[in-house]
Amino acid sequence: MSQPARLALVLAVLWGAAARGETPLSGRAKRERPVAVVGNPDEPLPEIRVAPDSLTLLWFPADIQPTTLTVDESRIRVLDTGKRSIIVQAAADFRADERHEIAVFFADGQAPARAAFVLVMDPAEVDSRIDVQRPEPPTGPCPADVQRADPRPEDFVLLGYVSDRGVQTTVIGKAIDSEQGFSSDPGVSYRGNGWVLADLWILNLPGRPPWTPRDVVLRGKGGTVLHGRVVTNAQGAVAPGDTVRVLGVFKEPPASAGLVVALEVLGDDGRSFVIPRVTLPMEGKQ
């Protein structure tokens, strides 16, 4: 059954039950309206009005991850979740000052990645349908003063980055490549649920041209080659004699790649730095 057809069936059953008088009617006026997701962590969360005798449908403009839904289910009933929808109902009347947060992550990972709202109660009105609106991502470079929302510990678990295996670590030994003009201090490799990460401080040796890391590659046994995502603290090209912190983030390599791999950090000027022996942490608890 398609998502719209499934949703229509669920709504018909649930609203049909309410229409038959299985819950008392309060006379609140029902409203349908758009509500925009907040992208700035300093802005207050938008309010959605709920009631114990009415259903509130949240319809999202993109697929969501239902497993990341967080809400106080002792005060808010979650009646249904779909690929793009959530249906909720207040479990009982709220106090005048009572506010409950509901949040869920979008599946595409684009910003804003998290949709969060505050559920409140109004004696005169209830939101029967909320069309969630998501700001379009900027087409140009992000302004320097725009900040992402600070990640919270629970986000890593909700998004599946950390499981009961925890996060394993090993030390990456220091390396030097005089020909290419690089050296590195001892670093750390991490393994989580479905990902590995290498964390290094790399020195662009004095007398060499400025350098900007652009790509990172992991090479393992059996010809395994994985391109990762580069994260740095650089504000521009790394000057001669300066260091840069480089994080290489990869999907978890297959077991056939082995635990000892080569890590290559490539720059936009053709220079690359190869750390020939990086020991990845073993999978599972140690």
CATH of domain 168-279: 2.60.40.10
Residues 209 and 216 sit within 8 Å (Cβ to Cβ): no
What tens digit of pLDDT does each residue of 244-257 get? 999 999 999 999 99
Confidence label for 107 from pLDDT (cuts 50, 70 and 90): confident
The per-residue pLDDT of the chain, averaged, comes to 85
Residue 148: predicted pLDDT: 57
Query: Which among 97-106, 149-158, 196-205 has the top mean pLDDT?
Result: 196-205
In whole angstroms, how large is the CA radius of gyration of the chain? 25
Tokens of 116: 């969060």
The residue among 16 and 61 whose pLDDT is bigger is: 61
Q: Which residues contact 163 (CB under 8 A, 6 or more apart)?
A: 157, 192, 193
Type of residue at 138: P
Name residue, tokens 């989580």: 192
Q: Which residues contact 259 (CB under 8 A, 6 or more apart)?
A: 279, 280, 281, 282
Residue 22: predicted pLDDT: 41
What tens digit of pLDDT does each residue of 262-284 get? 999 998 778 999 999 999 998 76
Q: How far is CA 81 from CA 28, 48, 56, 107, in A?
A: 24, 17, 12, 14
What tens digit of pLDDT does each residue of 192-209 get? 988 999 999 999 999 999
Residues 88 and 49 sit within 8 Å (Cβ to Cβ): no
Residue 95: predicted pLDDT: 83
DSSP single-letter state for residue 269: T
User: Strand 225-227 to strand 229-232: parallel, antiparallel, or no bridges (unpaired)?
Assistant: unpaired
Residues 112 and 146 sit within 8 Å (Cβ to Cβ): no
Alpha carbon distance 187, 271 (integer Å): 21
**Alpha carbons within 13 A on the beta-carbon side of 47:** 10
Type of residue at 144: A
Q: Is pTM beyond 0.85 here?
A: no
Alpha carbon distance 213, 101 (integer Å): 40
Tell which phi-psi region holds residue 80, choosing left (phi > 0), alpha (psi between -120 and 50) or beta.
beta
- Say whether pLDDT at 50 is over 90: yes
User: Strand 29-36 to strand 125-133: parallel, antiparallel, or no bridges (unpaired)?
Assistant: parallel
Alpha carbon distance 216, 84 (integer Å): 35
Alpha carbon distance 244, 161 (integer Å): 25
Interval 26-37 mean pLDDT: 91
Alpha carbon distance 284, 191 (integer Å): 9
Q: Of 18-22, 44-48, 229-233, give the lowest mean pLDDT range.
A: 18-22
CATH 2.60.40.10 domain residues, the chain: 168-279
- Say whether pLDDT at 2 is over 80: no
For domain 3-136, say whether CATH 1.10.357 is its number: no
